[in-house]
Structure 1
Amino acid sequence: MRLRALLDTDALGLRLLGGEDELDRSVRGVMTTDLRDPSRYLSGGELVLTGLAWRRDADDSEPFVRILAQAGVAALAAGEAELGDVPEDLVLACARHRLPLFAVHESVAFATITEHVVRQVSGERAGDLAAVVDRHRRMMTSGPAGGGPDVVLDLLGSDLDLRAWVLSPAGRLIAGSKVTGPELPPETCAKLAAEHLAAARTGRRGPHRMVLGGSRYSLFPIRSSGRSPQAARDVRETVLSDWLLAVEADAGDWPEERLDLLQGVTQLIAVERDRRDAARTVRRRLAQEVLELVQTGAAPAEIAARLRVAAPVLLPGLGAAPHWQVVVARVEWEGGAVEGGPVAQSLLEEVLVDPLATGPEPSDRIAVAHTGDEAIALVPLPAVSTEHDGSESGLLADALLQTVREPLSAGLNDDGRLTLGVSAAVHSAEGLRGALEEARHARRVAAARPGRVCAAGHQELASHVLLLPFVPDDVRRAFTARLLDPLKDYDQRHRAELIPTLEAFLECDGSWTRCATRLHLHVNTLRYRVGRIEQLTGRDLSRLEDKLDFFLALRMS
């Protein structure tokens, strides 16, 4: 606002004492002080209010005014309650430094002036920012993206001093202002997302407010730009896929203008979200095509050809053909009124992104299809050395849900469940059907556990589980291949005879002397081969459980 506007408001009780030529100066804020040197608290553009307690005699006015002028304040307003009329020495000092001076009537409280100026300044800045937001929205809806959500969050930080972040429903940081300080810690993101999802399940309208770590936050839902709040028949259809805007402020006492501005910001960010969803269409179609081939028993060569098409889309620039993992998810609601497949698909696309990775780009490397109430993800893994060392690669079930369990449980509330199964990594199209069945079986293992959010991985399908009659043949074959293929591959390359050595070692009940005699080997040679078997498979042949796994795998191969 301009200084001139202060004189047009009778309720402020201001009388101009000097500086008529400077009334077009802009006022950016208000500061009340009686310090002799308030320079450390001034940033320029303020209207300074003072009760003159700093003035002991006429010589004090000159240095005080000089400090204000050097700091670039807009004007000085002196109260008449303490000394009556404003001293002439202060009027002259302000004239020398071309600093506009107002007298404040004793009946007017400084708080009244402060509230008026702050309201006017904030309203004008919000209006200017709203125009910028609207311009960005038009640009993003009619042409290429205008920089993503970071741009408008930077505007909130620079123009309204609001720290704001965009979060996924699983608590992943998608975007944040670069001008408002450090990013939110992952644990804070998870708690904010959990609060938002819990509030959304109750049907309360946003913004939702909460206090966390001594800071107040307001949470605004970000819905698809083409969908109104009433468009979904049931909140459960979208609660696990909607983004949210978290603002470090209490929006409870905000004027309508500022609330409308934040609503415009969420609409602008929703455009970016819709672009991301549109970009996923190709990856979803690829996953659907591969899934149909696998489930209909297509030839491995046909599946491999489709995987070769998918690989450069999911991992552009990758030199070698990747390995693959399959992740199966199921979202089930009590009563069955909401179809779980699309919900699980959107959720799995989010959960499979590293929770510590910011921005929407990492999701470009995930292909998820859904069939019925089940979502199935095809996850590419960069192919590493062909020399298998027995270590686990790819996604692990427990780690997958560790950081997202809290917010997802809040979104599922008391009537929903998420169960998830993860296969081992497979190296070819031949193993993909087994990986799918393995992931499905692991999900059923997770479903048998208590809790709203449960996961299980292939590591939990131990040999005693494979003895059960309901385990699919494909799961048995996948177990056998995962355990023995590294040994078979090594034998083919090095003629090391690890498989015959393993068979003989188990038949001799782990006796080093008997086995070495049977194979006509020195005991040290036998120990080397057994050590190599353990290294390649990650197993320990001194453990009964691992011996049983090898025994069953050899019997089923």
Structure 2
Amino acid sequence: MENGSAWCGHEKVATMRLRELLDELGLFLLVDQDAEGGALDREVRAVLTTDLADPGRFLAGGELVLTGLAWWREDGDAESFVRILDRAGVTVLAAGEAEHGLVPDDLVHACRRHGLPLVAVNQDISFTAITEHVLRRLQPRHVGSLAAVVERHRRLLTGQGGPDAVLELLQHSLGLDAHVLSSTGRQIAGAHPPLRARTAVALAARYLAARRSREAAPHGVTVGDRHYSLVPVRSATDPSTPSTATGEAAELGDWLLAVATDTSNWPAGDVQLLDRIVELAVDARSAHDQTKVALNDLARRLLDLLHSHVPPAEIPVRLSSTAQAVVSQKDTWQRCQFVVAEGEWRGTGPIPASALRVLLEEALIQPDGPVPVSTQDIAATVDHEQAVLFVLVPEPTDGLPEPALDCVALQQRLAAVLTRWLGPTGSVSIGVSSPVAAAEQARRALDAARTALRIAHDHPDRVAVRGPDDLTSHILTLLPLIPAETRRAFASRLLGPLRDHDSRHRTDLLPTLERFLECDASWTTCAAQLHLHVNSLRHRIARIEQITGRDLARLETRLDFLAALKAC
């Protein structure tokens, strides 16, 4: 041994003594190995953070073990934990005081019985700072050894919040700037500060284009004056599950690891580190996919009900015993919007709906947007060549009177990442409905979303998103092309019976119809604006349908009435 280093095989591995750790970090030794301070000369060769009651499978000996004591609940709990650490040859246990306010006497006594040095870590010192300090001392240049640390963290963090801690560790210990992004450029994990939004979107766009061209990974790209290596993070979920896109265009559902360096010439040890980071991200991706299974089952069941002859009022009842509670924690219908999408490679057929579904599940996530949408607010499925999504949106408030998805922002977001991937001939079209406040409106909302999809399909943009406002404007742009006499005759034929009825019986059916259409056929919104009970409004609409012989549940009927009102 020399200069704080030990020889292990043919590789020189740095070590540090416990006394150096205590002096450099200002830590306090609660339990020494013996009365003469013999523990201070013990070597620290690794560091592990854990709150598992049995961390034995992650121990190799010589570790500084950091624990927040989440596993300790009462006297007696410490004995088995300390016994496992002692048998594994752990150098020292460092216990945080934040969880219980102090280190429990039960742990102190157990460490004394087994002769395991114990250090108290007060709330002012973070485990991350200790870990970074130890790793800088132990492995300043040995990236291959750090890969083993990443692997250990990968096992501990699986299903417990993702890879942020490890990516931050790598940034501080090696200066390695790495981020996990979605295919739309949303940062899923990474060290702080996050990538600039424009940079993240540019990286996602370059990644999709490279995957479409079947380039070998890692993909080297330059954004601004910085070089990045982009590595696929594909789900390890069984492809048969409904949350996984496979086959053609599956890259639309990928995550990607963006490393701010050129990894193409890395040595084998460094590549091992990269592989471990990717495995960590794959674990996080798989956990994410599993959370979507129940939600997407809900979407499938809801779409089947909308295609059936089940009365609208029964739809929430039939869903309440399935995954509806997963989405909203309630057994009633929640305010949502329908999103329908199609894509095509001109000359080579449609883009698979399963790939578009996964893309939109990601693109619609806006937890910090004006209308916040989280991953748990989206249920998605496919219907032949269409992706169909149901997105929960907030209830109206004074500050946000009509919360709804921003179609313009969605189009800009998708166009930024898809334009290179689509090339000069591909296209993606998306239709969005008005918010649906009751199950009775669900079928007409799905119909409206599909009508908006047809309008988007006719648009020259390669990525086009159209919504409720476009339905109205589309119809109104056609009216001037119709001769004035024809427009007046059409309006008279459609609205004349209602005017006659209002005149003879002093009713307000025509103003009610106009307000109903202005409210996008929302029963609750229209009733509130007219100061009516919803049942009274239903009676009026039923009377309008009886007089005109038209079904207002059909989108075509509502558009006809809207055109007639605008033609007057």
SS of the residue 1:427 aligns to:
coil
Q: Could you list the per-position Cα deviations for residues 50-94 of structure 1 after superposition, in whole angstroms to 9, with x for gaps in the alignment?
A: xxxxxxxxxxxxxxxxxxxxxxxxxxxxxxxxxxxxxxxxxxxxx
Which position in structure 1 is the counterpart of 2:151?
134
Compute the displacement of 1:132 (Å): 2.1
Compute the displacement of 1:176 (Å): 1.1
For 2:294 and 2:359, locate their aligned partners in 1 and report how far apart those are by CA, in whole Å.
Answer: 17
For 2:331 and 2:313, locate their aligned partners in 1 and report how far apart those are by CA, in whole Å.
Answer: 20
Rate the CA distance shift 1:214–1:436 in 2: closer, same or farther, 3 A. same
For 1:380 and 1:432, locate their aligned partners in 2 and report how far apart those are by CA, in whole Å.
Answer: 13
Q: Could you list the per-position Cα deviations for residues 174-204 of structure 1 after superposition, in whole angstroms to 9, with x for gaps in the alignment?
A: 1112xxx421111111011111111111111
Does the 8 A contact of 2:452 with 2:471 survive in 1?
yes
Does the 8 A contact of 2:245 with 2:354 survive in 1?
no
Compute the displacement of 1:160 (Å): 2.0
Rate the CA distance shift 1:403–1:26 in 2: closer, same or farther, 3 A. same
* Higher RCO structure (Cα 8 Å, ≥6 apart): 1
Q: Identity percentage over the alignment?
A: 34
Q: Quick check: 1:165 aligned with 2:179? A: yes
For 2:474 and 2:430, locate their aligned partners in 1 and report how far apart those are by CA, in whole Å.
Answer: 21
How is 1:380-529 mapped onto 2 (pairs within 5 angstroms)?
A: 380-384=392-396, 392-414=402-424, 416-462=426-472, 465=475, 479=517, 482=520, 485=523, 486-493=525-532
Q: Gaps (5+ residues) in structure 2?
A: 17-23, 25-135, 483-513, 539-559
Q: Quick check: 1:354 aligned with 2:366? A: yes
For 2:426 and 2:353, locate their aligned partners in 1 and report how far apart those are by CA, in whole Å.
Answer: 13
Coordinate RMSD, CA, aligned? 4.3
Amino acid at match of 2:296: R
Amino acid at match of 1:326: F
Once the two structures are overlaid, the 10-residue window that deviates more, 215-224 or 411-420, is: 411-420
Compute the displacement of 1:481 (Å): 5.8
Compute the displacement of 1:550 (Å): 5.8
Does the 8 A contact of 1:245 with 1:266 survive in 2?
yes
Which position in structure 1 is the counterpart of 2:200?
189
For 2:338 and 2:256, locate their aligned partners in 1 and report how far apart those are by CA, in whole Å.
Answer: 29
Q: Gaps (5+ residues) in structure 1?
A: 8-22, 28-43, 45-117, 470-475, 500-547
**Which of 262, 265, 288 matches 2:274?**
262
SS of the residue 2:200 aligns to:
helix
Compute the displacement of 1:427 (Å): 1.3
Does the 8 A contact of 1:321 with 1:383 survive in 2?
no
How is 1:228-377 mapped onto 2 (pairs within 5 angstroms)?
A: 236-306=248-318, 308=320, 311-316=324-329, 322-336=334-348, 340-354=352-366, 362-377=374-389
Rate the CA distance shift 1:219–1:450 in 2: closer, same or farther, 3 A. same
Does the 8 A contact of 1:311 with 1:380 survive in 2?
no
For 2:456 and 2:218, locate their aligned partners in 1 and report how far apart those are by CA, in whole Å.
Answer: 35
For 2:356 and 2:188, locate their aligned partners in 1 and report how far apart those are by CA, in whole Å.
Answer: 20
Amino acid at match of 2:423: N
Q: Could you list the per-position Cα deviations for residues 361-400 of structure 1 after superposition, in whole angstroms to 9, with x for gaps in the alignment?
A: 9212200111111111111123235x9x995421021122
Rate the CA distance shift 1:334–1:227 in 2: closer, same or farther, 3 A. farther
For 1:233 and 1:498, locate their aligned partners in 2 and report how far apart those are by CA, in whole Å.
Answer: 44
Does the 8 A contact of 2:6 with 2:15 survive in 1?
no
Compute the displacement of 1:262 (Å): 0.7
Rate the CA distance shift 1:157–1:285 in 2: closer, same or farther, 3 A. same
Amino acid at match of 1:172: R
Compute the displacement of 1:156 (Å): 1.8
SS of the residue 2:374 aligns to:
helix
For 1:133 and 1:484, locate their aligned partners in 2 and report how far apart those are by CA, in whole Å.
Answer: 53
For 2:427 and 2:2, locate their aligned partners in 1 and report how far apart those are by CA, in whole Å.
Answer: 58
Compute the displacement of 1:151 (Å): 2.5
Does the 8 A contact of 2:159 with 2:284 survive in 1?
yes
Q: Could you list the per-position Cα deviations for residues 425-480 of structure 1 after superposition, in whole angstroms to 9, with x for gaps in the alignment?
A: 121111111100100110111111123211111101126628899xxxxxx99957
Does the 8 A contact of 1:168 with 1:193 survive in 2?
yes
Which position in structure 2 is the counterpart of 1:530?
none
Compute the displacement of 1:246 (Å): 0.9
Does the 8 A contact of 2:414 with 2:463 survive in 1?
no
Compute the displacement of 1:239 (Å): 1.3
Q: Could you list the per-position Cα deviations for residues 284-343 of structure 1 after superposition, in whole angstroms to 9, with x for gaps in the alignment?
A: 011111111112232012213245565542234x79853121111112234556761211
For 1:184 and 1:453, locate their aligned partners in 2 and report how far apart those are by CA, in whole Å.
Answer: 25
Q: Could you list the per-position Cα deviations for residues 243-270 of structure 1 after superposition, in whole angstroms to 9, with x for gaps in the alignment?
A: 0011122224322321232122112211
Rate the CA distance shift 1:464–1:402 in 2: closer, same or farther, 3 A. closer
For 1:450 and 1:456, locate their aligned partners in 2 and report how far apart those are by CA, in whole Å.
Answer: 12
Does the 8 A contact of 1:463 with 1:549 survive in 2?
no
For 1:478 and 1:295, locate their aligned partners in 2 and report how far apart those are by CA, in whole Å.
Answer: 25
How is 1:21-36 mapped onto 2 (pairs within 5 angstroms)?
A: none
Amino acid at match of 1:195: R
Amino acid at match of 2:175: D
How is 1:79-228 mapped onto 2 (pairs within 5 angstroms)?
A: 124=142, 126-139=143-156, 145-177=159-191, 181-225=192-236
SS of the residue 2:408 aligns to:
helix
Does the 8 A contact of 1:173 with 1:355 survive in 2?
no
Compute the displacement of 1:217 (Å): 1.7
SS of the residue 1:403 aligns to:
helix
Compute the displacement of 1:166 (Å): 0.6
SS of the residue 1:277 aligns to:
helix
For 2:2 and 2:426, locate their aligned partners in 1 and report how far apart those are by CA, in whole Å.
Answer: 56
For 1:24 and 1:367, locate their aligned partners in 2 and report how far apart those are by CA, in whole Å.
Answer: 51
Which position in structure 2 is the counterpart of 1:509?
none
Q: Could you list the per-position Cα deviations for residues 132-163 of structure 1 after superposition, in whole angstroms to 9, with x for gaps in the alignment?
A: 232344456xxx62431212212321332211
For 1:338 and 1:448, locate their aligned partners in 2 and report how far apart those are by CA, in whole Å.
Answer: 16
SS of the residue 1:166 aligns to:
strand
Once the two structures are overlaid, the 10-residue window that deviates more, 327-336 or 187-196, is: 327-336
For 1:452 and 1:219, locate their aligned partners in 2 and report how far apart those are by CA, in whole Å.
Answer: 25
Larger Rg: 1
Rate the CA distance shift 1:312–1:348 in 2: closer, same or farther, 3 A. same
